[in-house]
Chains A and B, each alone.
Chain A
């Protein structure tokens, strides 16, 4: 089984936000990019499956050279191959189209994504990727088990409010992996240094069959305006000594209960 894990490099602590001149993305002033948390769980779920089934794990990210750091981390954690799609696409439609084309090109049986990226917070890429290939998609998967000679997988997934659904899913398929589903593996520094010697395959949109125009045609939205979050429902901030604030809180609790 060939598992493709889609990992995103996300800004750790951005200082400033602005909209790109073409209104296609939000630009962050941030020095460091880190592996998106829920994608790391997707990667670890793939590595667990690799141990059980001798699967091959390829990790892919999309972005500029600075996003390559998370690929070295993924290799150090145990991924077999790493690919970077050299593109600044950020619309979920564009990203899904590029990842879907790569998944087909690599002959992936199972594509894993995290439930949500910390920067876009849309949870759309997995579903759109699956739809672009006509593959099944399950969101918020918590466990995967290979079944039926590698042509189906057993999947446990969350439905919210403590409801759990057991599914069998035919491959190729896309799963959105929930966070907290397994302990995260640690990549020791020595392995991380060694991983940097691994060749990262770099592909561009043209090699995946897209022109600038055909890719832009996938896009369905533009960002008109960005703003700080509304404070219309802001809390009344308490001040004074800790004792005074504690007294105030306990009085409000007494009034309410």
Chain B
């Protein structure tokens, strides 16, 4: 039985995804106790910069598959490349990020290796070589510990917000093993390219964000939050349901399917705090949550919480902010 963990390194062709260092760090913590190695899988058309970034991640080895055919993400080609890496490494555990591509690739690979998979994982432990994962159920009202059985490796897609493992400052570059890319025999998906959605505002650079969720109840009530944002000199953000309802445009959406933001101040108004949203804002320096429901998961990541009727509390906060800015002149 292997004691190695393979981390599938997600990137956009230029840089690694920001969570990769934390995934590698968590994997290293586990492999140290198991006596195994942490190995990074890097698949794409990989240039020197991206390769060097991966080498500095604190993996014991990087397994590289680089080919012009892998320049852009393609479900079948990336799956095929990762399959060859997993077969070559034969790890005990495979980490994916619980992202669009992670959720697309990991089940197919788990099926291919007839292996277990646990998705949307918040934390993971290894007890006597057995994987034990923590994950949430039912709109995050309940958590459960899951154990797996079946052949190696165990696939995990990891939700980012509970993993707080900071990587060491400097490490020696990891050795790189390169595998040849052999495309799958049958191609049933053709890609016509990846584009960035055109946007008129960019909230990802904002210093202060006032964000609104489903708790606002009606499109007409968005003005309560707009006025607060205006009084604080903040940008207006929102959670996915507000975009789905057509109340605000998609460029204002914070979360896994929207923007990842890292403002100094994040005010969450009527946002319950599902993991997709948390993933996009948890790194704000100051998070204040205002919600009518005291059990809302947002209170688990906020620094300060107010349980209140939004329509009563927001006007008070807005008025106080206006008085402050008037006093400042």
On whether the two chains bind one another, the answer is: yes
Chain A residues in the interface with B (C-beta under 8 A)? 10-11, 14, 17, 19, 26, 28, 92, 118-124, 126-128, 130-132, 135-140, 157-170, 173, 176, 178-180, 183, 220-231, 233-238, 242-243, 245-250, 252-253, 256-257
CB pair B107 A127 closer than 8 Å: yes
Given contacts A162-B196, A167-B189, A220-B115, contact A226 B139 (CB under 8 A): no
Sample of 15 A–B contacts (CB below 8 Å): A26-B144, A121-B139, A162-B250, A163-B196, A164-B196, A165-B194, A180-B243, A235-B300, A235-B301, A237-B294, A237-B305, A242-B312, A249-B304, A250-B324, A257-B264
CB pair B193 A225 closer than 8 Å: no
Partner of B150, one of A26, A220, A226, A233: A220
B195 — nearest CB in chain A belongs to which residue?
Answer: A164
New contact pairs (5) apart from A121-B137, A126-B107, CB-CB < 8 Å: A161-B12, A180-B241, A234-B299, A252-B304, A256-B265
The bracket for how many chain B residues form the interface is 35 or more
CA of A139 to CA of B115, assembled, Å? 21
CB pair A222 B146 closer than 8 Å: yes
CB pair A230 B320 closer than 8 Å: no
Q: Which of the listed residues B116, B250, B257, B264 has the most CB atoms from chain A within 10 Å of its own CB?
A: B257
CB pair B194 A123 closer than 8 Å: no
CA of A14 to CA of B312, assembled, Å? 28
Chain A proximity mask over B123-157: 1 for CB below 8 Å, otherwise 0: 00000000010011111111111111110000000
CB pair A118 B139 closer than 8 Å: yes
CB pair B108 A229 closer than 8 Å: no
Chain A proximity mask over B185-197: 1 for CB below 8 Å, otherwise 0: 0001111111111
CB pair A131 B107 closer than 8 Å: yes
CB pair A236 B194 closer than 8 Å: no
CA of A168 to CA of B324, assembled, Å? 55
In the complex, whether B76 has a CB less than 8 A from a CB of chain A is yes
CA of A245 to CA of B304, assembled, Å? 10
CB pair A122 B120 closer than 8 Å: yes
Chain A residues contacting B292 (CB-CB under 8 Å) are none
Tell which of B48-56, B97-105, B171-179 binds the partner. B97-105
Chain B residues contacting A234 (CB-CB under 8 Å) are 299-300
CA of A15 to CA of B207, assembled, Å? 39
In the complex, whether B286 has a CB less than 8 A from a CB of chain A is yes
In the complex, whether B14 has a CB less than 8 A from a CB of chain A is no
Shortest A105–chain B CB gap in Å is 20
Chain B residues contacting A246 (CB-CB under 8 Å) are 313, 316-317, 319-321
Partner of B73, one of A130, A159, A227, A236: A159
Chain B residues contacting A235 (CB-CB under 8 Å) are 287, 289, 299-305
CA of A183 to CA of B245, assembled, Å? 8
Shortest B251–chain A CB gap in Å is 8
Shortest A251–chain B CB gap in Å is 10
CB pair B104 A245 closer than 8 Å: no
Chain B residues contacting A28 (CB-CB under 8 Å) are 138
CA of A131 to CA of B300, assembled, Å? 36
CB pair A256 B285 closer than 8 Å: yes
Given contacts A159-B100, A164-B197, A166-B193, contact A127 B308 (CB under 8 A): no
Given contacts A124-B119, A247-B320, contact A169 B189 (CB under 8 A): yes
CA of A118 to CA of B139, assembled, Å? 6
CA of A173 to CA of B207, assembled, Å? 44
Q: Which of the listed residues B104, B146, B196, B265 has the most CB atoms from chain A within 10 Å of its own CB?
A: B104
Q: Which of the listed residues A127, A163, A167 has the most CB atoms from chain B within 10 Å of its own CB?
A: A127
Chain B residues contacting A220 (CB-CB under 8 Å) are 110, 115-117, 148-150
Shortest B153–chain A CB gap in Å is 12
CB pair A253 B232 closer than 8 Å: yes
CB pair A170 B304 closer than 8 Å: no
Given contacts A236-B304, A249-B304, contact A26 B142 (CB under 8 A): yes
Given contacts A17-B142, A158-B100, A221-B118, contact A243 B107 (CB under 8 A): no
In the complex, whether B260 has a CB less than 8 A from a CB of chain A is yes
Chain B residues contacting A131 (CB-CB under 8 Å) are 107-108, 110-112
Chain A proximity mask over B42-64: 1 for CB below 8 Å, otherwise 0: 00000000000000000000000
Give me the 6 closest cross-chain CB pairs, A-B, nearest first.
Answer: A180-B244, A127-B107, A131-B111, A220-B116, A235-B305, A235-B302
CB pair B317 A249 closer than 8 Å: yes
CB pair A250 B320 closer than 8 Å: yes
A219 — nearest CB in chain B belongs to which residue?
Answer: B149
Chain A residues contacting B75 (CB-CB under 8 Å) are 136-138, 167
CB pair A257 B208 closer than 8 Å: yes
In the complex, whether B37 has a CB less than 8 A from a CB of chain A is no
A236 — nearest CB in chain B belongs to which residue?
Answer: B304
